[in-house]
Structure 1
Amino acid sequence: MSEQENGQTEESIWVDFKLSGLLLSDKVRELHASIEEEWDSLQRSACQTAAGRALWKHLIHDPVADVLAGEKYLTSFYEKIKKDRLNNAREISGVILAVRTLWFDSHIEAALNSFDGEETQVVLLGAGMDGRAYRLNCLRGSNIFEVDFPTLLQMKTTLLEAVTMTSSNGNQQPAMMARSLTRVAADIRDDNWLEKLQASGYNPERNTVWVLEGILYYLSNLHAVQVLKTIADYCALTHTVLLADFMNKSSTTLANSTFHFYSDWPDHLLPSLGFADVKLSQIGDPDAHFGLMDDPLNLFNRLRNLPRSVETHPDDGSPCCRLYLVKASGSPEKDIP
């Protein structure tokens, strides 16, 4: 649906920004103040992601994103968007996040549909402040597991409880879309995260969609490959779908102290670990476009027109920073090539 068909103009989409009453409550402000004092940059990135989803609300309808993001991250993200629009930037802040989110949403739905109504599980590793359990209708028949740091999940639960407590004051309480939601306090860099997941009710023989959005590149190479291999091993037990995003090597230089794991060829890596079918997309490809990549000269379309082996752009010598969106799958019935 175009903006005009939806009764919105580009201008109205971005100027219609105001903080909800929930965000201005003493309880929510107190909780977010503790986030700033106690969390490291990796944990706080979960709030930044939620802020992006909240501000791109004309495409991502997330009823809990603003409360999970907090006033600071919403305001700073909005200022970046406003600055980009004033400067007529080819890529508005958050557009990558919007495309990435919509790609994962659409592929989660497609994967669940491929199970033909069988009972399914969706595991979000490094779930952060993800609100999919509250916004995706396709999850109604699925059991959802969110895996992340204990402190993060406890804060997320407390923030959502604050929403529930104030719903009697005129705010609408967010409705759970998923069949069930289980939060699993575990660090996927530890050897016992899978044991904790299974102890929380995960069934290794049930069809599963594994979602690793915005998490792999924060891990070391050893930990990232271990996690991917662990998931691949389930292909021998049941129908298994992996949805993940990968940075190439050049992208990790954007934050030398933050990003670690990369793969320039995840479509080669994943079959070597045990996945039978792998499909790779880049931002701007037909399934990773969503009407947001029309400018042929934007960064992402310029990169798509270059071979993936090219590391620096021939026009200006800038590094070719790519984000790959990857679906991989396997099942006991399929032979690994």
Structure 2
Amino acid sequence: MSEQENQLPGDLAWPELNFSDFILSDSVKELHMSVDNEWDPLQRTACQTAAGRALWKHVIHDPVAEVLAGETYLRSLYEKIRKDQLNNAREVSGVILAVRTLWFDSKLEAALSSFDGGEAQVVLLGAGMDARAYRLNCLKGSNVFEVDFPKLLQMKATLLQAAMESANEHQQLTVTAKSLTRVAADIRDDDWLEKLQRSGFVLERNTVWVLEGILYYLSHHHAMQVLKTIADNCALTPTVLLADFMNKSSTALSQSIFHFYSDWPDHLLPSLGFSDIKLSQIGDPDAHFGLMHDPLNLFNKLRNLPRSVQTHPDDGTPCHRLYLVQASGTPKQTIP
């Protein structure tokens, strides 16, 4: 990202990192200390994602991201951002997360608008510290389900309750969705859909499935099982899948954490039963949001190469790609 792009609107430098008394309170710090001590690396990515949304608040409005992230992850990402700015880096830390968040927000709103009436459901698989149910007005007519590990959802609920109790009359924290239901389940287990149904999810109701930042942490077997389960829902009701996929090269960034990949998700998903696949890369017209103008930005350079190319011809570096994918499916109509 160019130096000009690194700056906020109005050519302001990145604001100093300041914490509210609430973030620094003993109760909140104690809660986040248990995250640092007890959660595994996959679970802690939830706080890292929240930190990105909190620090890119000039483009993402997330009123609870700071408290969900915690001081440790906010400071860590802030230091990386400042270092990137001082070095005039073309890709400032967190920009991928910012673009990804905005892409999912925009596609979720469009998907809900595409349904022809009736109530809609939104399922956030591996929801983590996602706060869309509190910040997106497009969810006001939708029943939202957050599925994740029991202790993660409990921590999230505890932090949000504390935030609600501390908010003043000008900063009321409310759920914007029609309803919000948290479902304690591990999507690697066979019974997660059953638990979702027991919590009020209706298989025959229009549904948007949001899998943001989750598939590549799963094994190939578990990721395919999740995708197949969602694809089967297309036979029952209009269904939209929003998901991001790493290519094979990207999983090499951390082979102990990243597992599942697909170089061609637009070929994979139709084989499972999805249709009308739309694939974007970071920097595409619907996936830059004014943050990716520099033609020499890493992501723009990758977009100009065929997707089959695994190493960049200029310097031999691996082509790490993140695909943002929207897929849909509807019950097949039979002629009487």
Pairwise same-fold verdict (TM > 0.5): yes
Structure 2 counterpart of 1:185, which letter?
A
Structure 2 counterpart of 1:312, which letter?
T
Instruction: Please give the per-residue CA displacement for 1:276-314, whole angstroms capped at 9, x wherever unaligned.
Output: 211100001111010111000010000000000000000
SS of the residue aligned with 1:277? Answer: strand
- Equivalent residue for 2:286? 287
Give the alignment of 1:93-108 within 5 angstroms: 93-108=93-108
Structure 2 counterpart of 1:245, which letter?
D
SS of the residue aligned with 2:250? Answer: helix
- Equivalent residue for 1:274? 273
Hey, what's the Cα distance between the residues in 1 that align with 2:10 and 2:167? 31
Hey, what's the Cα distance between the residues in 1 that align with 2:102 and 2:157? 24
- Equivalent residue for 1:25? 25
- Equivalent residue for 2:295? 296
SS of the residue aligned with 2:234? Answer: helix
* Structure 1 residue 118: Cα displacement: 2.0
SS of the residue aligned with 1:18? Answer: coil
- Equivalent residue for 1:65? 65
* Structure 1 residue 229: Cα displacement: 0.5
- Equivalent residue for 1:79? 79
Q: TM-score, normalised by structure 2?
A: 0.95
Please tell me whether residue 229 in structure 1 is matched to residue 224 in structure 2: no
Give the alignment of 1:138-157 within 5 angstroms: 138-157=138-157
* Structure 1 residue 16: Cα displacement: 4.2
What RMSD over aligned residues (CA atoms) do the two structures have, in Å?
Answer: 1.5
- Kept after mapping to 2: 8 A contact 1:28/1:159: yes
* Structure 1 residue 25: Cα displacement: 1.1
SS of the residue aligned with 1:37? Answer: helix
SS of the residue aligned with 1:102? Answer: helix
Q: Structure 1 runs of 4+ off > 3 angstroms?
A: none
Give the alignment of 1:1-337 within 5 angstroms: 8-12=9-13, 14-167=14-167, 172-333=171-332
Hey, what's the Cα distance between the residues in 2 that align with 1:241 and 1:226? 17
Hey, what's the Cα distance between the residues in 2 that align with 1:16 and 1:274? 48
Instruction: Please give the per-residue CA displacement for 1:230-274, whole angstroms capped at 9, x wherever unaligned.
Output: 000011100000000000000000001000000000000000000
Instruction: Please give the per-residue CA displacement for 1:129-149, whole angstroms capped at 9, x wherever unaligned.
Output: 001001001000000000000
Hey, what's the Cα distance between the residues in 2 that align with 1:11 and 1:79? 18
Hey, what's the Cα distance between the residues in 1 that align with 2:171 and 2:21? 12
Q: TM-score, normalised by structure 1?
A: 0.95
Aligned length: 328
- Kept after mapping to 2: 8 A contact 1:244/1:327: yes
Hey, what's the Cα distance between the residues in 2 that align with 1:136 and 1:184? 20
* Structure 1 residue 334: Cα displacement: 6.6
Hey, what's the Cα distance between the residues in 2 that align with 1:277 and 1:199? 30
Hey, what's the Cα distance between the residues in 2 that align with 1:167 and 1:98? 26
* Structure 1 residue 174: Cα displacement: 1.3
Hey, what's the Cα distance between the residues in 2 that align with 1:178 and 1:96? 26
* Structure 2 spans left out of the alignment, 5+ residues: none
* Structure 1 residue 171: Cα displacement: 7.3
Hey, what's the Cα distance between the residues in 2 that align with 1:275 and 1:165? 43
The percent identity for this pair of structures is: 75
Hey, what's the Cα distance between the residues in 2 that align with 1:174 and 1:116? 31
* Structure 1 residue 9: Cα displacement: 2.5
- Kept after mapping to 2: 8 A contact 1:163/1:173: no
Moved more, 14-23 or 191-200: 14-23
SS of the residue aligned with 1:236? Answer: coil
Structure 1 counterpart of 2:272, which letter?
L
Hey, what's the Cα distance between the residues in 1 that align with 2:236 and 2:323? 27
Hey, what's the Cα distance between the residues in 1 that align with 2:139 and 2:312? 41
SS of the residue aligned with 1:116? Answer: coil
Instruction: Please give the per-residue CA displacement for 1:42-100, whole angstroms capped at 9, x wherever unaligned.
Output: 00010000000000001100001000000000011111101100100000000000000
* Structure 1 spans left out of the alignment, 5+ residues: none
SS of the residue aligned with 2:157? Answer: helix
SS of the residue aligned with 2:83? Answer: helix
| Greater relative CO, 1 or 2 (CA 8 Å, sep 6+) | 2
- Kept after mapping to 2: 8 A contact 1:276/1:334: no
SS of the residue aligned with 2:162? Answer: helix
Hey, what's the Cα distance between the residues in 2 that align with 1:110 and 1:322? 24
SS of the residue aligned with 1:11? Answer: coil
